[in-house]
Each structure stands twice: as structure tokens, then as C-alpha cells.
Amino acid sequence: MASHRKSRPVGTRVAGIRTPALATAALTSVALLSQSANAAPTDDKPSLEEVEKKVDDLYRQAESATDNYNAAKEKTTKQRRQVDTLLEDVAQRTQKLNEAREELGSFAAAQYRTGAAAPDTATLLLADTPQDYFDQTQLMGRLTSRQKGAVDDYVTEQSATMKKRQEASQSLQTLTETQSDLKTAKATVQKKLADARELLSELTAQEKARLAAIEQRKQQEAARKAAELAQQQAAAEKAAQEATAPQESTSTAPDSSYATKAAKALAFARAQIGKPYVWGATGPDSYDCSGLTQAAWKAAGVDLPRVTYDQVNAGTTVSLADAQPGDLVFFYDDISHVGLYIGNGMMIHAPKPGAYVREESIYYDGESAIHSVVRPA
């Protein structure tokens, strides 16, 4: 028969000593309490670093949506001009059509008054003199020829007017669709910015202070990277000058021309420092990132496209090591941000909503954020 006597609990060893079961339970409880104290909060609240990343991501998404908004706005403006031109053309053609219709009516009335049939012997008998017959014959001939021309003109004008009306109708439909895209892009930007503001509003004063400290460390690292690039570029420039010293006369005019234009663009950009970032803005009181670069290079006599993903194709791509003042520095895989390089690893840019046009390291969001460098002139 099997024994019903309970087996004696086996203790555990602590530092080689077997401990009673009760002591084991106590140690287990302490261990669990210790683990709980070190565990992450159970309310699933994101860490400060996660909040910062989320906010940065939202701002980036807002900038990308801003580019879509800018493109839709530009397209809407062009489409509206085209519609206005077509409608004005239709109005003018309609007026001509009405005039042609009135001319046909006058011919019909004249024909009715003079007789629809061609002149014949009966007409001669009605004429007082042979000269009257001749004059009447000439009149009918002219009426027939002019009437035929008027009919041809009317049919041609009617066909052209119908075609222009169809073009105007299609352009109006396209304009409606573009305006819908514009509305969607605007709503997307507003939603991203609202989400970012909500995340920041939920932070305590202490968390905001810690977030500012994190941002300061990022800026310090960005400044360090900019200084490194400045040293590298200075060394490369010195080496190039030494290598070409005997051939200084070979310096090319295009470089001088570009430097002159770049200086004008940079002077304009510096004058905008302190003005607020506003999405969709092109100055003069506020700018978004591509609005600033477009306005700066326009001051130098160079027309750039409106949005970043068009500006990136409006020049020659160069390496970061060869970047010169005035070059455009693009960021992120979706090319949603751009700044104006001023040298020494620094740029002038309109950073994001809530910020102002400022000088900043091109490494402000890390080296991996840099997409490409483009020389626009």
C-alpha cells in the first residue's frame, strides 16, 4: 500500500547551504518584489526617447505631407489659370458664333426680300432697264457666294467652340480633383501636427526638461560632426590648391559664376533667420524648407521648383565632401527636407513647425539622415 505521508519539502542552497522551505519561499518573494521594482511601468507609457522619436517622425511626416500640399497647390494654381483661359476663349468664340448666326439671318432676310430663285427671263421682264437686270443678277450672285462663306465660317466656329467647351469641361473636372488632393494633403499635415502637439502636451515639466537635455546632446554631437567635416573639407581644399598651384590660371569661370550666385542666395537666406516655419509658406514673413531655398536662389536669379523632390533634380549631384556654400542638402529617404549649405558643415534651413529659420549643423538629425547634395546652378 502506498504511503499517504507527505514528502518533506526539499530546500534550496544559498551559498552552498541547504535552506528550509519557508526560507526559500521568503527569498522567492523578495526576488519577485525586486524584479517588479526594476520592471517597466505597467501602464504602457512610452519612454521619453520613444516620445521624442514619435514626435520627430510626426514632424517628418508632416513635412512630407507639406510637399504633397505644395505640389497640389501649385498644380491647382496652374489648372485654375488654364480653366480661366479656356472659359475666356469659349466666351469669345460664343460671341463670334452669335455674330455669324446673325449674319446668316441677315442673308436669309435679304434673300427673302430679293427672291430665292436665280434671276431669269421673268426677272428681266420685271426690270425697268437692262442695267436693272444686270445689277440684280450681280446682287444675287454676291449673296450666294457670301452666304456660302458665312455658312462655312459658322460651321467652323461652331466646331471650334464645341471643342473648347469640352476642353474647359475637362479642365474643370481636373481642377476639382486637384482641389480634392489639396484638401486631403492639408488635412494630413494638420493631423500630423496635432498628433505631435498632443504627445508633447502630455509630458510633465520634468520630462520636458529631460527632452530638452536629449535635444541638446544631439545638437552637440551634430556640431562635433560639422566641425569634423569642416576640417576634412579644409584639408582637401588645401591639398587641391597645392596640387594645382603651378596651374592657377586654369581656374574656370563657371566656379566663379556659381560662387557669385551662391553668395546672393546665402545673403538672402541669412536675412530670413528668425522668421517662423509655416508649412506651405514661401515668404516673405514665413517659410517652409523648400520655400526658403526656392526664394533664396530666386534672389540669385535661379528659378527652382517648388517642392523638395523636384528641387533635388534641379542641378548637379555632388558628394558631401565636395559641398560648397550655396549647395542644397537634402534629407531622408523620401527627400522631405532641404537646407542651404553655408560651409563648415553648417546650413540655413527652416526646420519644422514651431521653429524658426536658423543656422544649424547638417548633422542635426544624424549622419544617416542626409540624402544628397545638389548644386543648383
As given in the structure block, the three cell numbers for residue 320 are 558631401
Residue with cell 551662391: 262
Single out the residue of 338, 257, 292 nearest to residue 63, CA to CA. Answer: 338
C-alpha cell at 52: 521624442
**What is the SS3 string spanning 240-262?**
HHHHCHHHHHHCCHHHHHHHHHH
For β-strands 328-331 and 358-361, DSSP reports them as unpaired
Q: Which of 349, 352, 371, 375 is catalytic?
A: 349
For residues 377 and 300, the answer to whether their CB atoms sit within 8 Å is: yes
User: Which of 341, 364, 344 has the alpha carbon at shortest distance from 352?
Assistant: 364
Q: Is 289 exposed, middle or buried (0-12, 13-18, 19+ CB in 10 A)?
A: buried
Q: Is 371 a catalytic residue?
A: no
**Is 289 among the residues known to form the active site?**
yes
Identify the active-site residue in 60, 93, 261, 337. 337
Residue by residue, what is the 3-state secondary structure of 161-182? Answer: HHHHHHHHHHHHHHHHHHHHHH
**Which amino acid is present at 267?**
A
310/341 Cα distance (integer angstroms) = 18
Catalytic residue of the set 90, 222, 266, 289: 289
Grid cell for residue 79: 489648372
Question: Is 349 in the active site?
Answer: yes
Active site members: 289, 337, 349
